[in-house]
């Protein structure tokens, strides 16, 4: 995986509810806001102490309200549900783009498993 790629363009698309990130490799990713929220790199979401990533649910209507650059290495995303604690560095955004289909399917599989487990 490319680790030193950098975005050349970052475009917020309100109509399609995606963040478009174009990298210096020429690769272009359209990352849905829900996907970005579910896979936030914040401590409250990511895996801790070797446990699975926390399953974030019901974010299909989340709105990405604001984007702030952090130096020359990351973005801070502000969502309308109050979440804003993750820094999306260039490497992580690239990883989310390259692995989007796989990561999203894994998320959907985890959600489906919840529906199958009796309470």
CA 82 – CA 74 distance, rounded (Å): 19
> What is the pTM (predicted TM-score) of this model?
0.88
- Within 13 Å of residue 18, how many CA atoms lie on the same side as its CB? 12
Fold type of domain 7-116: NE0471 N-terminal domain-like (3.30.2020)
- How do the pLDDT tens digits run along the chain, 119 residues long? 556 899 999 999 999 999 999 999 999 999 999 999 999 998 776 654 445 678 889 999 999 999 999 999 999 999 999 999 889 999 999 999 999 999 999 999 989 988 765 55
Mapped onto helix, strand or coil, the DSSP state of residue 28 is: strand
CA 80 – CA 19 distance, rounded (Å): 15
Q: What are the boundaries of each domain within the chain?
A: 7-116
Q: What is the pLDDT of residues 32-60, one digit of tens each?
A: 999 999 999 987 766 544 456 788 899 99
Stated as kind and residue range, the H or E segment containing 79 is strand 74-79
């Amino acid at each position: 995986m490319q680790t030193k790629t950098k975005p050349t363009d970052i475009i917020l698309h309100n109509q399609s509810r995606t963040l478009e990130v174009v990298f210096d490799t020429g690769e272009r990713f359209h990352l849905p806001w829900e996907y970005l929220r579910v896979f936030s790199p914040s401590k409250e979401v990511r895996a801790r102490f070797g446990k699975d990533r926390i399953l974030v649910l019901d974010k299909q209507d989340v709105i990405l309200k604001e984007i702030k650059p952090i130096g020359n290495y990351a973005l801070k995303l502000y969502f309308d549900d109050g979440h804003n604690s993750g820094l999306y560095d260039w490497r992580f955004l690239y990883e989310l783009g390259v692995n989007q289909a796989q990561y999203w399917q894994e998320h959907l599989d985890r959600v489906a498993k919840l529906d199958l487990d009796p309470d």
